[in-house]
């Protein structure tokens, strides 16, 4: 991907920063097909599409809100525990919708986690990665707009917060490691000013524009439990709907007659609903 970009870093200690690009096919699992054959038929499948699309639209609308920073919890040692090699978490795993905790400990374990995240990012041909995408629900992202080990600039952002978005927005064809082989246009602000901490815990501000700004916003959404299709227009979403068939089909099964409906679906997506609010478990 070619994109003019500018990167200003205001932290001397910031040395190592994500819109993943993917090239890995997915397949229907035997277990999934067994469940599909057991619970649905062609007629029921077709009649449930409209209900499912409507419910997914509600989920998307709620997801766009993200989380309140006031409710953030601090990650424990257990939250940051991992075993290499890391693996990419793919949609619709509920991990991608869960709340991500703030990091309060800056130690060797965190540095090792960052190294492992860069490693899996490069191996999967990505240019950025967020912690929830490798199954760790903490506020951490890494990216390198060049996407090549040893080239460009590796950036690590811990507990990032957006201070300002530009008024100007631009569409751009995005991909995501958690959505293998799916690409579609997403409109985002052209530039963004953020506040974050580096790998050592030092706080800094950074102004991003062009591709780095795009990558940051994609990964920041992940930290908010927001996925890139949540940002798409209805027309664009329709263009990739067939590629989301696996997850959509499973949702249809959950709303068939004689089965628990909305709460089961939202629960499966990692979402609980209380008095109309959107809460991630």
- Please name the residue ranges forming H helices in 16-98: 30-39, 42-63
123: left (phi over 0), alpha (psi -120 to 50) or beta: alpha
CA angle 262, 267, 268 (to 5 degrees): 100
Confirm if 133 and 222 have CB atoms less than 8 A apart. Answer: yes
Sheet containing strand 6-9, strands side by side: 6-9, 203-209, 191-197, 155-165, 140-143, 128-130
Distance separating alpha carbons of residues 155 and 103, to the nearest angstrom: 17
Distance separating alpha carbons of residues 36 and 23, to the nearest angstrom: 27
- On the 0-12 / 13-18 / 19+ scale of CB atoms within 10 A, 204 is middle
Tokens in use for 8?
A: 């200003």
Beta strands in 137-190 (DSSP E): 140-143, 155-165, 169-176, 179-189
Q: Is residue 187 annotated as part of the catalytic site, yes or no? A: no
**Catalytic residue (choose from 78, 174, 219, 245):** 219
Distance separating alpha carbons of residues 75 and 105, to the nearest angstrom: 8
- SS3 at position 171: strand
* Residues designated catalytic: 219
């Amino acid at each position: 991907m070619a994109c003019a970009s500018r990167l200003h870093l205001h932290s001397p200690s910031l040395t190592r920063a994500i819109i993943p690009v993917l090239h890995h096919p997915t397949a229907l699992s035997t277990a999934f097909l067994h469940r599909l054959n057991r619970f649905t038929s062609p007629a029921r499948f077709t009649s449930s599409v409209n209900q499912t699309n409507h419910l997914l639209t509600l989920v998307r609308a709620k997801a766009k809100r993200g989380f309140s920073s006031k409710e953030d919890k601090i990650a424990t040692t257990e939250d940051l525990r991992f075993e290499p090699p890391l693996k990419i978490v793919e949609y619709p795993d509920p991990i991608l919708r869960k709340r991500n905790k703030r990091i309060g400990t800056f130690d060797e374990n965190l540095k090792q986690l960052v190294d492992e995240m860069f490693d899996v990012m490069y191996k999967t041909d990505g240019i950025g990665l967020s912690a929830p995408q490798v199954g760790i629900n903490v506020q951490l992202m890494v990216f390198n707009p060049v996407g090549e080990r040893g080239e460009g600039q590796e950036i690590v952002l811990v507990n990032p917060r957006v201070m300002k978005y530009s008024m100007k927005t631009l569409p751009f064809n995005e991909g995501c490691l958690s959505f293998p082989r799916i690409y579609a246009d997403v409109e985002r602000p052209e530039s963004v000013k953020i506040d974050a901490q580096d790998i050592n815990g030092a706080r800094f501000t950074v102004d991003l524009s062009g591709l780095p700004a795009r990558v940051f916003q994609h990964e920041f959404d992940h930290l908010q439990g927001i996925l890139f299709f949540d940002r798409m227009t209805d027309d664009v979403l329709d263009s990739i709907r067939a590629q989301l068939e696996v997850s959509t089909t499973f949702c249809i099964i959950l709303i068939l007659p004689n089965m628990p409906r909305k709460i089961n679906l939202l629960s499966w997506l990692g979402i609980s609903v209380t008095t109309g609010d959107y809460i991630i478990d």
